[in-house]
Every structure is written in C-alpha cells, then in structure tokens.
Structure 1
Amino acid sequence: MSILENKIDFIVLAAVKDANPNGDPLNGNRPRSTYDGFGEISDVCIKRKLRNRLQDEGQRIFVQSEERCDDGFTSLSDRAKKSLPEKLSKDEFAQKACEAWYDVRAFGQVFAFKGAGPKEGVSVGVRGPVSIHQAKSITPVEIISQQITKSVNSESGDKKGADTMGMKHRVNFGLYEIKGSINVQLAEKTGFTEEDADLLKQCLRSLFINDASSARPDGSMEVISVYWWKHNNKIGQYSSAKVHRSLEVKLVDEMSIPTSINDYEIKLKPLEGLEPEIIEGM
C-alpha cells in the first residue's frame, strides 16, 4: 500500500425524487433546507452513508450505527478500550486507531472516553484528511408534506384511536452537490493510502446502495456522477474552491421547475493541466 501523494478534490451530483434525503429533527423531520429554499444534506449524514458503504465493502469502522454493529461492542468507549493495546503513548494510540479503522484515518476522531485513551483522563484527537462539505441543492426545492394515519393501536389499551395523525415530508425533486477534498499532509499522518482513496471513490459512486427506508425508497436517491480531480502534487495545482467552481450546473430554462436531471445543463470550466475523472453513478 502506498501513502497518498497527490491532493484530490471531488464533487458528487446526486438526484432526489420523492424522498426525504436528510430530515431535520428540530423541524418536525422536514427535509433540511435554507431560509431561501435550497435543500441541504449535512456532512454528518453523508459520512454516515459512507461508513455504511465501507462496512459493506468489508472495512472496519469505528463509528458504527447500532443496527449495523458487526463487532459486538455496544459503545464507542468499549470499542476503543477493547480493540487497542493498553499503556500506549498518545501518538501510538492515534497510530493504532488509524491502522484499525478506516473512518478514523479518513475522517478523524476524538477519543475522549473514560479509560479509553493512553491513560484515564487523557483525550486523543486525530485529524482526518477527508473533508466533506454540507451538500446543497443547485436550485430551491419544493417540500411536500402529507398527513398519515396508523391503522392499529400500538399497545393493548392504547387510548389513542386508530386514526391518529402524523406527518410525512419529501422533496419533490432536487439535484444536490456534494463537495469534498483529500489533504495529503494529513493523509501522511493518518496513513491514508491511494487504495483508501480509490475505495472512497467507489463508495461515493454507490452512496445510496443499501440505504433505502420509508423516507428514502429504493430508486428515490441516485448518484448521477462523481467528478474526481487528482492533482499532480501535494498541495494542488489550484485551490479546492477554484476546482469546485469549475463545475457549473444550471437550469436549461431558468423559468422552469426542475423535475429531473434533464432540466439541468452541466458544464466543466477547463483548468490547465487538471482534468477530472468522471464516473457515472450506480
């Protein structure tokens, strides 16, 4: 395995149709959106999906969701304490954690659990090389809300009737842009390799595989394409901001309400000496 030597920037274009891509618990689980109506997906949500995909690919993951736990540990503290050797220095602890778990060496992690660091009361922080922005829709999204009822009482003796009301929300259609970068200097510290980067690229391409739920039925979330820029040096030929701006996505008809990817025009502004690899989503 070879440590990453070239800076990488990437963008994922993802389409959402009749689904709730990321509910906001502080707003009745409505799809996240800005005050001016643009849809959002949090970076935490995106990393959760990536961790799930990486588990599907056989990688060891530190921050596991409860329903996907594959090592029998019921907490992050137990996983840290029982997976790593005792009496390590802070640097040794960080190195062993990066070697053990893909998401630690990719996204970083703070180990601040009682008795789970080099010694009790000492926390260890790892900065990961992979940074992911909060995703935002290209144009404002229309959020549809509908009342739902349950057909039976949840428990015997439940005083609530079978017609108890609830709410379900979905985005009619939205095209979201997920931006990210991989920093070589931090990759050298965590041991993030070229092979790790290639696996991340494949997981971005298949981001919504095995992610279906009642809020996100199969086929309602789709990766359209992944744009993957690999620079020819460690710091990059261009800034990440300039690279991300080189992908221009806009409506074909500014007055129309988008209902599919076909309503958008996608253009790449050329950057001398830097061509992206364009991978079609699954």
Structure 2
Amino acid sequence: MTLLSKKIDFVVIFKVKSANPNGDPLNENMPRTLADGIGEVTDVCIKRKIRNRLLDMNKDIFVQSDDYKKDKYSSLQERANEEIGKISETSDFSTKACEKWMDVRAFGQVFAYEKGSSIGIRGPVTIRTAFSKEPIIVISDQITKSVNSKSNKKGNDSDDEGMASDRMGMKHWIREAIYVFYGAMNPQLAEKTAFTDEDAKDIKDVLPKLFEKDASSARPEGSMEILKVIWFEHNSPAGQYSSAKVHSSIKIDNSGNIENEKDLENGTVESIKGLKAEIIQGW
C-alpha cells in the first residue's frame, strides 16, 4: 500500500436538531457551550465517532469505547500486551502498534509502560473542535430517571411512595443548530506511522455517515445529520496552500449552505486558486 502521497484538507458541516451533541460531564451533561453561547463538540468526541464507524468497516482500532467494543479486552494495556506484546520503549513496539491499529497510525497514541514513562506517537490526521454557526439555545427538561423498585418500608432509600430518592433528573438538548469542523492529513507525519492513501480513503468514506449507528436517548435517530463534506486533495505532499488558508476559504451561512460552492468546485476561489474541492453529500 502507498503511503499518503498528497496533503489533504477537509471540512464537515452537520446539523443538530432536538439533541445533545456532546454533553459536558462537569456541567450536568449540558451541551457544551463557550462563554458567548456558541455550541461546541470536542475533537475527542468526533474522533470517537470516526473510530466507531471504522470499526463498522472491520478495521482494527486500539481505543474502543465500552459500549462499542469489538473484542474481549477490558483495558488498553491488556489489548496492547495481548495483540503485539508487552509495552516497551523500543521503536519496534511503535512500528507494530501503527501496523496493527488504524487509529494509532491516523491520530497517534500515548502508550504508558511499567517504568512510569510513556511512548508518544504523533499521528498525521488532525481534527479541530466543531463549533456552531450561531449561539445555541439549551432546553432543560425535568425527567423521571427511575421507576418504583423498592418496597415502601422505613429505613431504606425510598420515599413514602416506594420510589428511589434520586429518581428525578434533568435532560438537556438544543433545538437546532449548524456545526462545522475542520481537519487535515499530513504526508510528512504519515511516513512515521505508515498511514496510507487507502487509510485516508477509509476516513473519507466514513465522514458522510459519521452519526449512523450513534443513536442514544440524548441523540435520537435522525437528530444528528451530516450535511456536506468538503474534501481538498493537494497536488503534492507539501500542499499548494496552508490548511489555515484552505479552511478559511470556505464560506458557510447559518443554514449550513456553502455560499461559494460553485467557485470551490471550479477551483476559482482567489485564496486557493487551482485547488479543486470535492463536495460530498451527507449519507
């Protein structure tokens, strides 16, 4: 397989409707917001969803969540030790880890070993945090989170009706918002992790369907929707333009429409002249 041969930039536009896209555990699991009310979905959250979709494609993934695990291992250390041997600081371990797990060669990873130190692998794929186009409106509903599970007896944790004392809770969601995040793939770093053109295509293929099989009570089916993926493939490993210039060339309105879509397709945007965009509709 060929190592990543060209610099790649991409932009993803998605819509949230009646859902909590990324709860903050330090703030009662409310949707993440900045001080000015702009909504936020962290890069860690986005990478988790990319990993899950790659698992759907039967790719080997190192960092698996408990509710989406595809193997028998109960910890990352156990997975590493059993699959490629005891974690050590040798370069051979890093090479094997990158060969084995796609997310390691894409995003990098930190492996801790016995001596209290760690091995850091720097990946070629970077993802920026997603932000909403406008300040979001957070709606909070009081809900019943438990049912009558205890007998009505004095001295236990239930009230006079036999209900658990912590049965009431809150559910937070946003009415509707457009979010955007940006990413890039660096061929120079790809050489160190053996990230390939085929790996890049796999990520390209999962981005339009990022929220499929991701439903929960906080994110019901259909409440999270990828609108468009904008994919830029440069003509060399170094790239024709910086990622900052490419990303800033995308003009997206508050409804999620690309204002200069035709110009992008034709490669005529002045700041990125000659760099053609592939615009992929959400799945």
Normalising by structure 1, report the TM-score: 0.89
SS in 2 for 1:187: helix
Tell whether 2:173 aligns with 1:170.
yes
The 2-side partners of 1:155 and 1:93 are apart by 52
- Conserved 8 A contact 2:20-2:174: yes
Q: 2:216 aligns with which of 213, 219, 234?
A: 213
Q: Which amino acid aligns with 1:49?
A: K
Report Cα offsets for 1:201-257 as digits up to 9, x if no partner: 111111001100000000000000100001111121111111001111124xxxxxx
SS in 2 for 1:234: coil
Match of 1:16 in 2: 16
CA drift of 1:192 comes to 0.5
SS in 2 for 1:176: strand
Match of 1:237 in 2: 240
Q: Which amino acid aligns with 1:159?
A: S
Task: Say which is worse superposed, 154-163 or 165-174, in terms of deviation.
Answer: 154-163
Q: Which amino acid aligns with 1:44?
A: V
Task: Say which is worse superposed, 33-42 or 152-161, in terms of deviation.
Answer: 152-161
Report Cα offsets for 1:44-76 as digits up to 9, x if no partner: 100111111000000011011112222211101
CA drift of 1:122 comes to 5.0
Alignment gaps of 5+ in structure 1 = 115-119, 252-259
Q: Which amino acid aligns with 1:131?
A: T
SS in 2 for 1:79: helix
CA drift of 1:155 comes to 4.8
SS in 1 for 2:55: helix
Match of 2:44 in 1: 44
Taking the TM superposition and a 5 Å limit, the aligned residue runs for 1:100-115 are: 100-114=100-114
Report Cα offsets for 1:160-219 as digits up to 9, x if no partner: 454942111111111000111001111111010001000001111110011000000000
Taking the TM superposition and a 5 Å limit, the aligned residue runs for 1:60-75 are: 60-75=60-75
Q: 1:135 aligns with which of 127, 130, 134?
A: 130
Task: Say which is worse superposed, 266-275 or 43-52, in terms of deviation.
Answer: 266-275
Taking the TM superposition and a 5 Å limit, the aligned residue runs for 1:74-89 are: 74-85=74-85
The 2-side partners of 1:220 and 1:87 are apart by 41
Match of 2:141 in 1: 146
Normalising by structure 2, report the TM-score: 0.89
SS in 1 for 2:230: strand
The 1-side partners of 2:98 and 2:7 are apart by 19
Tell whether 2:158 aligns with 1:159.
yes
Percent identical pairs in the alignment equals 53
Task: Say which is worse superposed, 150-159 or 49-58, in terms of deviation.
Answer: 150-159
Task: Say which is worse superposed, 46-55 or 83-92, in terms of deviation.
Answer: 83-92
CA drift of 1:22 comes to 0.1
Kindly tell me the number of residue pairs found equivalent between the two proteins.
Answer: 267
Match of 1:279 in 2: 280
The 2-side partners of 1:151 and 1:92 are apart by 51
Tell whether 2:195 aligns with 1:185.
no
The 2-side partners of 1:159 and 1:88 are apart by 51
Q: Which amino acid aligns with 2:78?
A: D
The 2-side partners of 1:249 and 1:87 are apart by 45
The 1-side partners of 2:37 and 2:86 are apart by 50
SS in 2 for 1:50: helix
- Conserved 8 A contact 2:21-2:219: yes
Q: Which amino acid aligns with 2:74?
A: T
CA drift of 1:121 comes to 4.8
Task: Say which is worse superposed, 226-235 or 148-157, in terms of deviation.
Answer: 148-157
Alignment gaps of 5+ in structure 2 = none
SS in 2 for 1:247: coil
Report Cα offsets for 1:6-45 as digits up to 9, x if no partner: 0000000010000000000111111001111110000010
Match of 1:126 in 2: 121
Taking the TM superposition and a 5 Å limit, the aligned residue runs for 1:17-32 are: 17-32=17-32
CA drift of 1:98 comes to 0.2
The 2-side partners of 1:78 and 1:247 are apart by 43
